[in-house]
Every structure is written in structure tokens, then in C-alpha cells.
């Protein structure tokens, strides 16, 4: 079976031929691996890492990149508990196992844990415990392979904002973009000839692979700060990537900055006083992005800077930004010959809202504005990672939109 997801198995290992190793291998072979195979999840345990380098760093990387971690608490191995804490801080979904008869320590006693026995062997062979693991995996799949952060349940979390900071840092540190493609399409109930298309992947990969040109996106939305400053050429944000894609490259490798220059010109021409109000949207033309069929970039002010703490987006600013974008689209439809719009998941990693609520806010306004603006034939919603795609599919179903597969 092809593996679309991966699992890092946190387990006591022991020395080869030791009782600890034999026990760990049996749990792996009879309980964990059969459950993972049902979901097409590729398993990996620390003793299977063959590459050179620091073991601790590799372990961190495997946990950060895992769609799920299965944790064997049997034997109370200190390394296992340490790695469990890392997984929880990283907001990785976990499935916990412990041998019957062993009492969970106080700090983890309230966590949902599967108790297993290796004897009699018939319980292993018939898949009794593997089914319990599979049931938990099914629950995680239904939630889009998302997990709450470690501190989310505590009263001090809003003050520390730990969950949001961790999610943002992890996303910046280990971007795992989905394959770039048009994923599925949702026709408008009132006009099936128009609709919303879910597009996945990183904008640069979409450009390099030819998928961006194939979409036919007339305009792309770029979220900027309230000072309407583009991100740097090599930043991981969509703003920085669009700036790079649009830049003319000289023979010596020098990058032009036409997008920034146009934006500054538009700010001056419109006599906008900075910082702009959230939702202020300014259209600019394109240079090299025109090679992909992109006629315009809509720069929308949304994020606000905090000295020493980066940028954040107020929850209500999501609504303002989406409305502002469509107001510009309506004004520029004829001037710039616009019919389609590519919109990222504004606010996915910069608000206190979870992915589903972010998508719900965006999608409701998109549907409303498409009804009000008949010239808007299609909106492409860009999902960078799996949690965004899952949330969008879920919200679309909740709103009664039928999905059409795209080949």
C-alpha cells in the first residue's frame, strides 16, 4: 500500500536480543503496524533511522514531521516520556499504549491510553489491540489529523499564547506543503457554471510545475501588514513568494522589485495614511507573474506588528480582509479584465481561531460576495497544508456544497 502519511513510534527499544527489545518488537509487529497499515501510514521507530547525525535532532525532526505519534509507555522509560512531551508541545496527535498492570504516572493518568497484554498470544494474532489503535486513528482522521497543544486546556494559555506560538514556529520551521494541484471543485448552488476550487500546495511549486498557469487565476491575494510592506524575497510567506515570483531577474542574479514599486506608487496616488485600516486592499499589476496568467495582485492590509513579537491578525480582521478584496475585485473587474481570484487561507496561523473557524469565516463571505458579483466566475482557495484542506472540505460540506473531483 502506498503511504500518504507517516507515524513516528516512540517506544523503549533496549539492546538487541534483550527482553525489552523483544517486547517492543512484539508490540510493534502485532499491535502498532497492523493498525497503521489500515490507514496507509508509514511507521518509523528510532532504531530504524539509518542516516548519520545527531540522534536527538533526528528524533525532534521525526516528531515534528509526523502525522501521528504512537507512544509505548510500558516500562516508564524516561526518554519515552520526554519524547511524549515534545510531541504534545508540537501539537502532534498521539496514541498511547501501556501494558496491563502498570499504573500510569500522575501527570499522564488522565490521557486516553490503550492497555494491552502480550499473553495470551491469541489476543495479538486476532488483532484485538490493533483494532483499538485503529479506532483512535480513525478518530484522528475524522479531526483532520489535528491535535490541541499541550497548554491549551490551562487557564494561563490565553496569556502565554503558547499554542499559537508553537504552531506558528513549527510551520515556519518545517513547511510541508501539499502537492501542488487543483484538488476539487464546489459549484455554486445558484449557478453551477461558477464556483469555488480548492487548490493545494506552495505557490512557488505551483508556478514551477505549470499548475499556476493552468489554473487561470487572474488575481492573487497577498496578506500584508497594516503598513502595506511586502515581505522579503526569500520569506516563507505568500507575500514574500509573490514578490520573488514577480521580480525580474538580471543576468547577474539581481532581483527587480516591480511589485513593491507599484504598491508604493498606488499608496501615494490614493493618499493612504499608514498604518492602513485592516481590510484596506490595493491592486497592483504584475511583471513576471504575468507569465503565469496573473494580471493583478491584491495587497490587503491585515497583520499588525508588535515590537519584538512579530505580527498577528485580529480575528475580526479576517472578515474585513476578505470583504476588502472583493470590493477591489468588483471595482477592477472591467479595468483589468478580471474573472477569477486566488485567495489564501488568511489568518490560518496568525489568530487565536482554529483552522475550521478561519475557513468558515472565509468561505461564508466568499459565497456571499460571489452571489453579489456575477462577474466573479471562480474563486480558488489555496490550502497550503493538510489541516487547511481538511478544514475546507469539512466546512464546505457543512454549508451544503457538493464536491466535484478534478482529474
Indicate if the pLDDT at residue 160 is higher than 50: no
CA 7 to chain centre: 17
- The domain limits of the chain are 5-166, 178-405
- CB distance 212 to 197 below 8 Å: no
Indicate if the pLDDT at residue 51 is higher than 60: no
- CB distance 337 to 218 below 8 Å: yes
Q: What are phi and psi of 225, to 5 degrees?
A: -80, 175
Dump pLDDT digits (tens) for 166-217: 555 555 555 567 899 999 999 999 999 999 999 999 999 999 999 999 999 9
Cell of 177: 506543503
Which architecture characterizes domain 5-166 according to CATH?
3-Layer(aba) Sandwich (3.40)
Average pLDDT value for residue range 318-341: 96
CATH class for domain 178-405? alpha beta
- CB distance 246 to 287 below 8 Å: yes
Strands 296-306 and 281-285: antiparallel
- CB distance 108 to 84 below 8 Å: yes
Binned at pLDDT 50, 70 and 90, residue 234 comes out as confident
C-alpha 386/C-alpha 383 separation (Å) is 7
- CB distance 313 to 301 below 8 Å: no
Please calculate the CA angle 89-167-206 and round it to the nearest 5 degrees.
140
Mean pLDDT of the chain, nearest integer:
88
pTM tops 0.85, yes or no: no
Binned at pLDDT 50, 70 and 90, residue 348 comes out as confident
Which residues are 69's β-sheet partners? 8, 94
User: Would you state the pLDDT for residue 159?
Assistant: 47
Radius of gyration of the chain (CA): 24
Q: What's the DSSP call for residue 29?
A: I
Indicate if the pLDDT at residue 53 is higher than 70: no
C-alpha 11/C-alpha 32 separation (Å) is 11
Amino acid at each position: 500500500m502506498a503511504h500518504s502519511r507517516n507515524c513516528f513510534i516512540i517506544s523503549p527499544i533496549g539492546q538487541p536480543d534483550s527482553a525489552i527489545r523483544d517486547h517492543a518488537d512484539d508490540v510493534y509487529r502485532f499491535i502498532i503496524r497492523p493498525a497503521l497499515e489500515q490507514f496507509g501510514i508509514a511507521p518509523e521507530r528510532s532504531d530504524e533511522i539509518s542516516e548519520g547525525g545527531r540522534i536527538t535532532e533526528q528524533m525532534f525532526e521525526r516528531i515534528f514531521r509526523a502525522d501521528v505519534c504512537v507512544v509505548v509507555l510500558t516500562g516508564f522509560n524516561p526518554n519515552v516520556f520526554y519524547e511524549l512531551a515534545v510531541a504534545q508541545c508540537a501539537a502532534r496527535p498521539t496514541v498511547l499504549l501501556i501494558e496491563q498492570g502498570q499504573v500510569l504516572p500522575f501527570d499522564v493518568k488522565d490521557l486516553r491510553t490503550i492497555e494491552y497484554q502480550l499473553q495470551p498470544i491469541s489476543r495479538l494474532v486476532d488483532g484485538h489491540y490493533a483494532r483499538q489503535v485503529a479506532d483512535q486513528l480513525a478518530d484522528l482522521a475524522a479531526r483532520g489529523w489535528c491535535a490541541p497543544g499541550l497548554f491549551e486546556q490551562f487557564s494561563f494559555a490565553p496569556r502565554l499564547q503558547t499554542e499559537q506560538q508553537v504552531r506558528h514556529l513549527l510551520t515556519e520551521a518545517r513547511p510541508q506543503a501539499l502537492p501542488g494541484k487543483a484538488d476539487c471543485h464546489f459549484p455554486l448552488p445558484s449557478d453551477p457554471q461558477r464556483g469555488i476550487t480548492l487548490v493545494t500546495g506552495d505557490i512557488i511549486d505551483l508556478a514551477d510545475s505549470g499548475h499556476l498557469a493552468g489554473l487561470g487565476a487572474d488575481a492573487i491575494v497577498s496578506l500584508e501588514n497594516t503598513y502595506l510592506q511586502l515581505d522579503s524575497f526569500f520569506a516563507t510567506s505568500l507575500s514574500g513568494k509573490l514578490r520573488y515570483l514577480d521580480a525580474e531577474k538580471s543576468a547577474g542574479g539581481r532581483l527587480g522589485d516591480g511589485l513593491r514599486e507599484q504598491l508604493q506608487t498606488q499608496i501615494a496616488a490614493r493618499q493612504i495614511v499608514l498604518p492602513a485600516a485592516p481590510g484596506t486592499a490595493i491592486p497592483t499589476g504584475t511583471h513576471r507573474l504575468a507569465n503565469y496568467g496573473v494580471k493583478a495582485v491584491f495587497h490587503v492590509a491585515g497583520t499588525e506588528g508588535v515590537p519584538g513579537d512579530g505580527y498577528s491578525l485580529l480575528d475580526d480582521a479576517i472578515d474585513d480582509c476578505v470583504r476588502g478584496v472583493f470590493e477591489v475585485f468588483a471595482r477592477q473587474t472591467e479595468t483589468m479584465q478580471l474573472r477569477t481570484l486566488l485567495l489564501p487561507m488568511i489568518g490560518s496561523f496568525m489568530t487565536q481561531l482554529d483552522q475550521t473557524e478561519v475557513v468558515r469565516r472565509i468561505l461564508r463571505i466568499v459565497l456571499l460576495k460571489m452571489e453579489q458579483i456575477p462577474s466573479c466566475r471562480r474563486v480558488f482557495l489555496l490550502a497550503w497544508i493538510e489541516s487547511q484542506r481538511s478544514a475546507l472540505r469539512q466546512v464546505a460540506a457543512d454549508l451544503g456544497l457538493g464536491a466535484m473531483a478534478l482529474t
